[in-house]
Structure formats: structure tokens, C-alpha cells
Structure 1
């Protein structure tokens, strides 16, 4: 039986998806390079967990400021050039870590890194949302989200061995070079793709806007609140989990990073399969379920920490669930926005700002709570927030039933 070959428009859309996915991997991997070495950083620079929380929290705060600006700036401009600019700034920031001597110089490099990382999400994800509609959208969102997790996974697997083999400076210069290569590939090898003005053809679906619930930020409170929680939870687990494993399970930085890498690998498969799950269950109901699974798994690895096997098992469930919240939320926002693409850049910029506000606030809070009450207390607080997100999602589903019946 012959399979129908993709149309020229579909091939162009897929090409853009691949460019965005590659940039997502480099962007997210670069952002969490320092996090993958936090146990080393604490020892090498004499930092406290609270100072780690400040590095995390202020870094996200920079993204909060810059993401909406980038989202507005990018509207009507060539996305590949904007993406390349962001990665170029990231590469410069990573290279600047070789000059770090204390907490303040580390902070300066970390903040510059976050300026560069502010470019990808409002630009790249918005570009994908313009290229796909209907059933294809969920798969495309899951695909590019999975590559973000893949980039983080590769960093967590490789950073500690590179550090022990090559040292601090060579490790960061090597990762800076990867960013330079990404910029070249984006601008020159894929430079012939046309990103703007193509929103018709095989990928068009039947989305309808649902404007009745629009809030002061241009999108409903539901999107802002849940992405705040998911972004904050992801950030805290990724930045603090290897520290928790070192303290509670007495793992060295390499073994702790292997466990966190398993969590990231599970997140990769959770994100890339989210589009397939949504064929069996409505995406919004699936989103509520994965928030509940996120909460349950957080409670499990927090209160069952005496058993490393149970910790690893619950982390695998957590990674699979929490990563699915991203493509499912992007799909729901695209459904809400409908076919009108005029505000996509700023709308996606708003939810990514909410994610980074969550990372900033919960990162700072986790650093303080960890110093005051211990890391388990900080992680348990995340479980409560994830339960809240599950309830908010169910409420949103009930409030938008009339609009869904029109889809």
C-alpha cells in the first residue's frame, strides 16, 4: 500500500519543526549546564544552597523581563534570525563562565545566559504553532518539547565526566562551541526556509477561538497559573534534585546526575508521546491527569527517600508526567487562540513568562525553605502546587465545554 508523500508546504513545515527542535535542544541544554554541576559549584566556589536558589531565581527573573519583549519584537520578523541571535548570546555567556571566580561573577554569567535563552520559547514555539493545526499540532508540540529534554539529558550525562576529564574552563568552552555551530546551521544550512506568511495548506485544522475567558494578560488566568506551577516545579527538580540525592542518598555528583538524567530521559518520552495520548483522551483531561501524577510522584520521592529504588521509580513517573504538561498546554493555548495568529508571539511570550516567574519564585523559595526546613520540605510544597494545578485544569475544562462542542 502506497503512502502519500508530503506536500511542499508540509515539507517546509516539517523543516521548520526540525530547526526549532534543534534550537530547543541547544537552548535548554545550555541553560541547565551550570545546574548539572551545582554539587561541584557548591564545593568549588563555597556556595550555600540559598545562593544556588538566588542563581536560579534571578536567572528566571531575567527571562521574565525579556521573554515578553522578545515575543513582541519577533512578530513579523524572520524567526530563524531571532533564534540565532539568542543562541549567539547564550554561547557568549557560557564562554564567560571560564572567568568566574566567586558568586557574583557566576551570577553575572548566569544572568547573561538567561538573556539569551529568553529568545527561544516565545519565538520557536510560536513558529511551530503557526505551521500546524488540528491533530498535527499536538504531535509537533510534543516533538519539539522532547528535544528540549534531550538537550538537557545530554548535558547532565556529559558535563560531570567532561569536568573531571578536562576541568572547568575547557568544559564550558566546549559547550560554547556547540552554540556557535547551532547558529551556523540555523542561518546557513537551513537558511532557505520561508518562515512567515504560510498558514494554509495541509496542516490547517478546525480550531476555533474561545475568547470569553480572556484575562488582563491577554490570555485566561488558567494558562498563567498552571504554567507558573509547571515551570516552577520543573525548575526546582532539575536544579535541586542532584543536591537532594547527594544529601539523602549519599550519591556523588556523577551518580546523582545519572539519576537526574534518567528523569530527563523519561521526560523526553513523556513529551514526545503526549500527542499520541491525546487521541485517546481529550488533551485538557489528560493535562489534569498528568498534573495529578506529577503531584503523587513528588510526594513519593520526597517521603520514600530512604529507598533509592523507590526514589528512582517515582522520578521516572514524575519526568514522564511533568514534561507532558508543556505540549498539552501549548496545544490548548493554540486551540484557544484559534486561526488568528496576530497575537501568538505575545500570547506564548506570556505563558513562557509565567513559567519563568514560577522558576524564579519557586527557585528562590526552595533555596530559602531548604536552608530553613530542609530540601524535603521544599519538594513537598511542589506536590501541593501540582495538585492545585490539576484542580484548576478540571475547572477550565468545565468552563469551556460549550466552545469545545463547536470544535
Structure 2
């Protein structure tokens, strides 16, 4: 459904309604740098599996440690900064990630690797809700586009993982992660600039007024519908995150086993999937601005399902094309889900961003452990066939309130 007829709503963090593109592009670049640091960890899985003899379950636990710390802390950070914005938490968080990368390069054991990725997870937990808030503040009237610019940076950073493996980690091994301390330092420098802009914009925040008792009673009538919508969003994020986790963490092993590829050769498949996912993330926002967020979410999952069911049964060349299409379509709803949640619960920008993005990380974390254990127990091929069913959960998106309904709720509150 087109949302062109829905009046635009003022952003609470802006003096005017103009879109600040230079801030959007810088925060998108910082998102790329932050997530490229995170991408070092799954990119190292094949290296660690050989050099340390780790099991798939242990590799899953490493992914769990990274993503679970990030997912648990993101909504906490978002909830706190909704009340007390902290512009300079952004460079501080990336400094924490830089220390984690440094530890990762020198980690001598499985436990020290876990400790290092916890530091990286903490840095990510601070960055994501505050970065999303910056994108919201700079969005003006183009919220879908702004969130897409921000999120495509992160997806592009994740897409670098196969390149990192092929060009850096395969020849240099675990110590090659040391190069990403430079990436982290660059991100810190950019985020100091962003923090200065963010701090200046806080002067324009309008003070919130307390709701009148009558309004509070009226708002209670929406609580059940909002809870139900959030529950549906959680199921949709689960389906998308587990499938992405299966491909990004374990498809390289599947490609090596099925197509008799080298580690470097198998990374082409993951790179293609993640790169097209970044493209889908970018176009999802503008499409949602034009056709509606709910419609994009529905198409994103259900149009992916036939392709995911086909993937385990095609040859090496066709699988590359199918993976590209899956990434393009499936990830088109990533930024859209964030904006949908922000408009479902207006005034809680950091909390909703932390919840949706953090939940995606958390679901991916649980998925990495569960899928790793499944592979150890039943094998790669049955696991890949099983996860192909996940996008079918997208049928639940038909139960989400329409974009117009969201707007009507906001007007009635």
C-alpha cells in the first residue's frame, strides 16, 4: 500500500525537516567500519577450525559470545540514552572494539578469543542504537532512506568478511586481525566528528510534556495491539536472522564439501550473498517510503522462500545466482523493520532500534550455536535443507498493522 497520502510527522530531534546527507553518509561509513570489525570473527572461523582444531559447536559459541553480548546490551543502551542522550558514547564504544580486535590477534586459546569478542560485542552494543538515533536525527522527512543509508553501511561491512578471509586471514592467519585496529582508529576519528554534531543538535530537542490522565487511559487501548505487533516482528526477525546466520557462518563449509572448493574459493559465495544483501538493504528503505513498510516486509520474506528451498539442490554456478537473489530480497526488510518499530512506538527511537537490531544479533547468536550443534549432529546438508523453510514464517507479516493504521494510532495518542 502506498504511504504517499499519509502526512509526514515531525522528527522530535530536529530543528528543521531537512535531510542532513553528510551526517548520514559519515554515520553509514562508520557503520561499515564497525561491522567490518565484527566481520573479522566469522571470517576467522575456517582459520580457527584448522589452527586450533575447534569444533562447529565451539565456533558457534564464539559467534554466540559476540552477538549475544551485543544483542542484550543494545536495548539497554537504547533505553538509557532515550532518557539521557550520550553523544560521546559512540567513539568510546569503538575504542572498546579496537581493544577487542587487538586481543583477538594475539589470543592463544579458545577462552581468550571469547573474552576478546565480548569487548567487540560491547562496542557494537553502544554503537548501533546511538548510530540509529543519529540517522533518525539527520533523516528529515525521509526516514526510510536515512535508515537504509545507515544500515547499508553495516551490511557492506559484513560483506567484507569473505574478502578479509581471502586477502588477509588466509595468508596471515589469526595475527592478520591486527590490521583492524587501524580500521577501528579511523572509525573513532569519524565518530568524534559525529558526536560533536550530535551534541549540538541536542539543543533543539523539545522537552517532553507529561501525558494527561485522559490521554494515558486512551493509550492503554493500543497496548495490546502494539504488543502483538512487536511479537510478530520478533518472529520475523528470528526467521531472517537464523537464515542469515546459517549462510554467513556455515555455508562456506557446505560449499567446500559439496563443490570441492578451497577456503578462498568458498568465500565468493558468502561475499555475493552479503554484498547483494547490502544492495537490498539500501533499496528497501526508499521502496518502503513509496509502497509501505509492511508491504516491503511481507515481500522480503515470502518472495525469498522459493529461492531458499531451491538453493540446496542446484549446482555451483546456479547456487551463486540464487544466493545473490536471496541476499537482495531477504535483506530489503532489514532497515524497514527498524523504522516500522520506531513508528510503532514513537518517542523510543534508541529503545526500538536497540530492540530490533539487537534482537537480530541475538537471534543470530542463538542460531549460530544451534545450527553449529545441528551440523555436528545431523550434518551440513540436512541442516541447510531445514533452514530453507524459515522464510515461510514471513506469512505472519500479513497480521502486522498497515502503515496507515500506525499513523492513525499516532494521531489518536
Question: 1:392 matched to which residue of 2?
Answer: 396
Question: 1:3 matched to which residue of 2?
Answer: none
Structure 2 unmatched runs, 5+: 1-13, 207-218
**2:356 equivalent to 1:346:** no
Question: 1:4 matched to which residue of 2?
Answer: none
**2:363 equivalent to 1:358:** yes
C-alpha RMSD of matched pairs (Å): 2.8
TM-score by length of 1: 0.85
Structure 1 unmatched runs, 5+: 1-6, 201-208
For 1:95 and 1:118, the matched residues in 2 are separated by: 18
**2:237 equivalent to 1:222:** no
Q: Is the 8 A contact 1:142 1:327 kept in 2?
A: yes
Cα deviation for residue 99 of structure 1 reads 2.1
For 2:329 and 2:343, the matched residues in 1 are separated by: 21
For 1:300 and 1:39, the matched residues in 2 are separated by: 26
Of 148, 171, 174, 1:168 maps to 174
**2:154 equivalent to 1:148:** yes
For 2:20 and 2:204, the matched residues in 1 are separated by: 9
Q: Is the 8 A contact 1:68 1:346 kept in 2?
A: yes
For 2:16 and 2:186, the matched residues in 1 are separated by: 27
Of 40, 46, 59, 2:66 maps to 59
Secondary structure of 2:101 counterpart: helix
Question: 2:333 matched to which residue of 1?
Answer: 325
Say how many residue pairs are matched. 384
Secondary structure of 2:260 counterpart: coil
Question: 2:215 matched to which residue of 1?
Answer: none
| Residues 280-320 of structure 1 deviation map (CA, whole Å, 9 limit, x = unaligned) | 5322112111111333322222233xx01121111001111
Question: Residues 232, 197 of structure 1: CA spacing in aligned structure 2 closer, same or farther, 3 A cutoff?
Answer: farther
For 1:153 and 1:210, the matched residues in 2 are separated by: 43
Cα deviation for residue 260 of structure 1 reads 1.1
**2:256 equivalent to 1:246:** yes
For 1:30 and 1:15, the matched residues in 2 are separated by: 23
Question: Residues 403, 349 of structure 1: CA spacing in aligned structure 2 closer, same or farther, 3 A cutoff?
Answer: closer
Question: Residues 213, 188 of structure 1: CA spacing in aligned structure 2 closer, same or farther, 3 A cutoff?
Answer: closer
Secondary structure of 2:388 counterpart: helix
Of 326, 339, 345, 1:337 maps to 345
**2:195 equivalent to 1:185:** no
| Residues 315-341 of structure 1 deviation map (CA, whole Å, 9 limit, x = unaligned) | 001111222121111221233234xx2
Question: 1:205 matched to which residue of 2?
Answer: none
For 1:19 and 1:214, the matched residues in 2 are separated by: 38
Higher deviation after alignment, 93-102 or 295-304: 295-304
| Residues 177-208 of structure 1 deviation map (CA, whole Å, 9 limit, x = unaligned) | 110121022214873453425469xxxxxxxx
Question: 2:300 matched to which residue of 1?
Answer: 290
**2:217 equivalent to 1:196:** no
**2:132 equivalent to 1:125:** yes
For 2:354 and 2:177, the matched residues in 1 are separated by: 29
Q: Is the 8 A contact 1:366 1:375 kept in 2?
A: no
Q: Is the 8 A contact 1:264 1:319 kept in 2?
A: yes
Cα deviation for residue 210 of structure 1 reads 11
Secondary structure of 2:304 counterpart: helix
Question: Residues 247, 284 of structure 1: CA spacing in aligned structure 2 closer, same or farther, 3 A cutoff?
Answer: same
